[in-house]
Structures are given as structure tokens and as C-alpha cells.
């Protein structure tokens, strides 16, 4: 069987990277699209597809997702926003899955965030909820469950996901459900966990391995935040973390065959 490729990318709504002023860097969605296209992936899982609007507004149709769909005419797509929330800050929101094979049984599950207070330019804030999306497709005639998530960065709030594990546990429950149903699954995302060894061990207990946990995937701090997890029905034959200036995250790609 020819390997199929999975691409994992937090695209930061098209904001490129600038070493000198990363938060003021321009938005160039065309560079995001070019970065995605050059890897010729069969499955594309994206986080921070859209930029949150003041007051938590969510434009429909989602503009960046629509441009991505137009640039990927050979792919089927699934997109969801997290629940609209006036507390939303002007960062990236929304998850997408693109697949060369048809998608069915799509869903979006809210992952509640804990009420951890933090300071944002002198104002006390609490975080908005996060999201897990999924769908089922078929690769070489076999069903494959696709899961994509973006968890809260508790370390940026001077806290720790081990102290607030509910989002991680809800994702783990989806992994168990796939195994109970006899479905093979791939889980990708920006897990926003500094303790990537602990995260890998937690999901290994559910029967899922990450393709890599040594190469840094984030430019702002030297952390391994992005992962592609898979179960034993799939064998990873190649993986690579690819530096890019199209986001503050690098691209992670992995090639798989059925084991």
C-alpha cells in the first residue's frame, strides 16, 4: 500500500512569524496556503484557522476556511468554532479537517476550560472553552477515525494541565470510544502541554503513540506542543517537523501505512 500523509499545523490564522515583533507580524494567508499545499497531504488537520473578533464574534461563512477550501478542491472539509464567548481574546480560534477521501459522522465537542484567573493588559480574565472535532473517513477501504484538538495553554496562565486535567481526559475518552467501537484512529492537535512526556504516557495508556516527542514545534518557547497520535493498527514510516515562517508553530507531517 502507498503511504498516506497526515499534516498537523497550528496556522495562527495566517499570521506569519517575525523574530523582532512576532505579535505585530502581518497576516498573509497566501503563505499559509502555500505551506500547506507544498506537503501534498492526504489528511490536513489545522488549529487557529480564524482570528477571534472583538466581543467573541464569529463570521459565517468562516473566511479563512473558505479560502482554504477553494485552495484544496480535491479535499473534503469539516470546520467548527468553539462556543461563541464575549470573553474571547484576539487570538486564533476554530479547527478544520481536510481529507482527500469523503468524511462522515462529523462532530464538534466543547472542552470546558477551568476558571483560572489571569491578567491580560491589566484586566482580570478567565479562559474560554476549547474544542475537539472529529470525522470518519476510509483509507484503502478501511475506516479511520480522525480527531483534532486545541487545548488550553495552562502554562501561559501560570498553571498546569496536570492540575486541571479535564480537557486531556475528555480527549482520552474519545480515544477509548474509538477503540471500543473497533475503529482505528488518528489524533492530532496543539496540546499546549509543556510536559510532553507526561502527555505521551497518558495517551499511551489508551493505546496511542505520538510520532515524535523530541523536536520543538513552537517558536515562542522550546516546547513540543504539536502531536500526531496513532494506534497500533497504523505504522508510521516517516515523520518530520518542518520549520516554517508561516506561523509561530512548525509543520508536523507523518506518513502511515496500515500495520
Q: Which portions of the chain are predicted below pLDDT 70?
A: none
Q: Output the nine-digit C-alpha cell for 187.
A: 489524533
Q: What is the pLDDT of residue 159?
A: 86
Q: What is the pLDDT of residue 121?
A: 84
Q: What is the pLDDT of residue 120?
A: 86
| Boundaries of every domain in the chain | 4-258
Q: What is the pLDDT of residue 162?
A: 85
* 29-37 vs 63-71: helix crossing angle, rounded to 10: 40
Q: Give the integer Cα–Cα distance in Å for 18 and 24.
A: 8
Which pLDDT tens digit goes with each residue over 133-181?
999 999 999 999 999 999 999 999 888 888 899 999 999 999 999 999 9
Please report which residue ranges of 136-181 form alpha helices under DSSP H: 166-180
CATH number of 4-258: 3.60.10.10
Amino acid at each position: 500500500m502507498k503511504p498516506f500523509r497526515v499534516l498537523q499545523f497550528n496556522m495562527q490564522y495566517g499570521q506569519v512569524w517575525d523574530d523582532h515583533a512576532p505579535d505585530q507580524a502581518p497576516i498573509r494567508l497566501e503563505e499559509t496556503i502555500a505551506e500547506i499545499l507544498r506537503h501534498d497531504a492526504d489528511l490536513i488537520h489545522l488549529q487557529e484557522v480564524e482570528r477571534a473578533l472583538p466581543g467573541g464574534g464569529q463570521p459565517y461563512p468562516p473566511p479563512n476556511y473558505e479560502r482554504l477550501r477553494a485552495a484544496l478542491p480535491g479535499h473534503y472539509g469539516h470546520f467548527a468554532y468553539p462556543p461563541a464567548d464575549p470573553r474571547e481574546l484576539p487570538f486564533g480560534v476554530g479547527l478544520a479537517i481536510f481529507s482527500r477521501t469523503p468524511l462522515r459522522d462529523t462532530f464538534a465537542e466543547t472542552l470546558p476550560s477551568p476558571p483560572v484567573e489571569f491578567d491580560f493588559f491589566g484586566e482580570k480574565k478567565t479562559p474560554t472553552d476549547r474544542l475537539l472535532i472529529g470525522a470518519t473517513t476510509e483509507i484503502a477501504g478501511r475506516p479511520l477515525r480522525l480527531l483534532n484538538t486545541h487545548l488550553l495553554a495552562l502554562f501561559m496562565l501560570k498553571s498546569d494541565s496536570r492540575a486541571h486535567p479535564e480537557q486531556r481526559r475528555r480527549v482520552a475518552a474519545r480515544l477509548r470510544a474509538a477503540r471500543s467501537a473497533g475503529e482505528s484512529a488518528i489524533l492530532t492537535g496543539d496540546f499546549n502541554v509543556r510536559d510532553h512526556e507526561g502527555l505521551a504516557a497518558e495517551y499511551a495508556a489508551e493505546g496511542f503513540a505520538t510520532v515524535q516527542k523530541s523536536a520543538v514545534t513552537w517558536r515562542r518557547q522550546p516546547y513540543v506542543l504539536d502531536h500526531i497520535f496513532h494506534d497500533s493498527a497504523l505504522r508510521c514510516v516517516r515523520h518530520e517537523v518542518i520549520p516554517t515562517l508561516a506561523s509561530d508553530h512548525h509543520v508536523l507531517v507523518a506518513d502511515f501505512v496500515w500495520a
